């Protein structure tokens, strides 16, 4: 299933992005933002029994579609130490990779202020790589979040981005059937 998804997802994303990119050419906003961010990913609920909070970094692209609506494609990479075990010691380290396509809506627009506030929701996949386990586990996932930004210049936006990602996982593989991980990041976006 995920092999088919990996082939169809880029084409679907391109079909979503292209009309927005072409429409944005006539707007006063710069059409494309590329961003980089770093922060911490915090596991909660059952997945917190397996993995501790850990550092993360990510990259993304944002393209305005119409008015205050944009589409985003994000990839975040979190690195978690194994959680403490009740009998002592700790479990294996867990790397979690988040790949999300999102729609975002501006509550406070750049044109009104140097400040911007966007809310977003989307879907994608999360991959869990557990030390000592052969291969990795990839599951469908959903996302909600926000981005509070400040325009340093017309081309550069600094932002704080709390996100919530939920993977619909297999309890037999990673110990829970829904892995909740919260990426919190600071970053910079450059507009072209």
pLDDT value, residue 24: 47
Decide: 144 and 161 in contact? Cβ < 8 Å: no
pLDDT value, residue 49: 87
- Classified as helix, coil or strand, 176 is coil
* Residues of the domain holding 66: 2-191
Decide: 187 and 162 in contact? Cβ < 8 Å: no
- Say which residue the tokens 């600071």 belong to: 186
**Domain containing residue 147: CATH number:** 2.40.160.20
17 vs 139: which has the higher pLDDT: 139
pLDDT for 2-20, tens place per residue?
A: 554 555 555 555 555 555 5
The mean pLDDT of the chain is: 87
State the total domains in the chain: 1
Number of Cβ within 10 Å of residue 143's Cβ equals 23
| 73 pLDDT higher than 90 | yes
Question: What's the mean pLDDT in 90-103?
Answer: 95
């Amino acid at each position: 299933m995920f092999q088919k998804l990996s082939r169809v997802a880029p084409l679907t994303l391109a079909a979503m992005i292209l009309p927005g990119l072409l429409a944005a050419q006539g707007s006063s906003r710069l059409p494309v933002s590329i961003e980089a961010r770093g922060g911490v990913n915090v596991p909660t609920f059952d997945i917190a029994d397996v993995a501790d909070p850990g550092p993360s970094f990510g990259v993304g692209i944002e393209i305005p579609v119409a008015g205050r609506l944009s589409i985003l494609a994000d990839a975040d990479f979190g690195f978690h130490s194994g959680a403490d075990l009740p009998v002592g010691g700790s479990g294996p380290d867990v790397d979690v990779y988040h790949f999300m396509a999102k729609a975002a809506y501006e509550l406070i627009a750049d044109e009104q202020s140097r400040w911007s506030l966007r809310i977003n929701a989307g879907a994608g996949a999360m991959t869990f790589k557990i030390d000592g386990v052969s291969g990795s586990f990839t599951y469908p996932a959903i996302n909600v979040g926000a981005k509070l930004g400040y325009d340093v210049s017309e081309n550069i936006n600094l932002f704080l981005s709390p996100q919530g990602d939920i993977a619909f996982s297999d309890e037999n593989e990673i110990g829970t059937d829904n892995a909740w991980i919260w990426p919190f990041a600071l970053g910079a976006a450059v507009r072209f």
